[in-house]
Amino acid sequence: MNFLLDGRLSLTTPEGVRLQLVPAGPVVRAYAWAIDFVAWGMGASFLISILGAVIPSPKLFSAVTALLFFFAYWAYPVLCEVYAGGRTLGKHIIGLQVLRADGLPVRWRESVLRNLLLVADFLPLLYASGLLAMLSDRHFRRLGDIVAGTQVVYRDKPPKRVDVPDAAPLPLPFPLTPEQQRALADLFARESRLPHARMLELADIAEPLTGRDGDASLERLRGMAAGLVR
């Protein structure tokens, strides 16, 4: 695990998948927290109005609302992190997610621990301890993240599907590496922006793959690209 020059955290999962993650700093995390706080406050107000209508006793109303608020306050982030891909509403809007230090999704243990330690991060006032820890850590982890072994990172946007002109899908004559497959699909995604002469030139270079040259090679390449993305 190491920190790259462009600010990306490079790590390899136990399955051998290499990840490039960008840790989220205090400012964007504060924005996400503010959105969550507003959403929680609106939900709490709605809940109070409903409970006030169905519970006639003031003492029972106070006890029930206090109990429900306690569970809702702690359950909201934990349930979101475990079941919603490490994202509360605020993190979803800002584009963040919580992951384990090894890049895998958080589980119950990590999520419960990091959220229980929000109390320590809040001390002595207004999350001062958490902010100091984030500014002192190169991965911008607060105390809860350090203890739980988690980190908040920017969520990668899903890649756009590559559209290939209509063509009968053709199988590859021999296996290609993932990089070669991606280059083939990207070639036809950019076909409308490339001169036909340049496409023919590239098709001739691909003769070992297609067994053809010129337009015949280009059409076979188009069919192979169609087979990759469908």
pLDDT digits (tens, 9 = 90+) for 29-41: 999 999 999 998 8
| Residue 94 CB-density burial (10 A; 0-12 exposed, 13-18 middle, 19+ buried) | buried
**pLDDT at residue 132 in the model:** 93
**pLDDT at residue 186 in the model:** 80
> Among residues of the chain, what percentage have pLDDT more than 90?
33
> By C-alpha distance, which of 212, 208, 203, 210 is closest to 227?
210
**Per-domain boundaries in the chain:** 2-154, 178-229
Secondary structure (3-state) at 82: helix
Q: Quick one: pLDDT band at residue 16, thresholds 50, 70, 90?
A: low
| Cα 175 to Cα 194: distance, rounded to the nearest angstrom | 26
In the predicted structure, residue 8 carries a pLDDT above the cut 50: yes
pLDDT digits (tens, 9 = 90+) for 135-184: 999 889 999 999 999 999 998 776 565 555 567 788 888 888 888 888 88
pLDDT digits (tens, 9 = 90+) for 28-81: 999 999 999 999 888 888 888 888 888 888 888 888 888 888 888 889 999 999
**Out of 4-13, 52-61, 100-109, 174-183, least confident range:** 4-13
**pLDDT at residue 41 in the model:** 85
> Among residues of the chain, what percentage have pLDDT more than 70?
90
**Mean model confidence pLDDT for the chain:** 85
Q: Quick one: pLDDT band at residue 94, thresholds 50, 70, 90?
A: very high
**pLDDT at residue 168 in the model:** 79
Alpha helices for 95-177 (secondary structure H)? 108-116, 118-122, 128-136, 143-148
The type of residue at 17 is V
**Out of 7-21, 89-103, 181-195, 205-219, least confident range:** 7-21
Rg (CA), the chain: 26
Angle, vertex CA 21, rays to CA 103 and CA 114, nearest 5? 50
The whole model's pTM is what? 0.66
Question: For residue 99, what is the enclosing H or E element?
Answer: strand 96-100
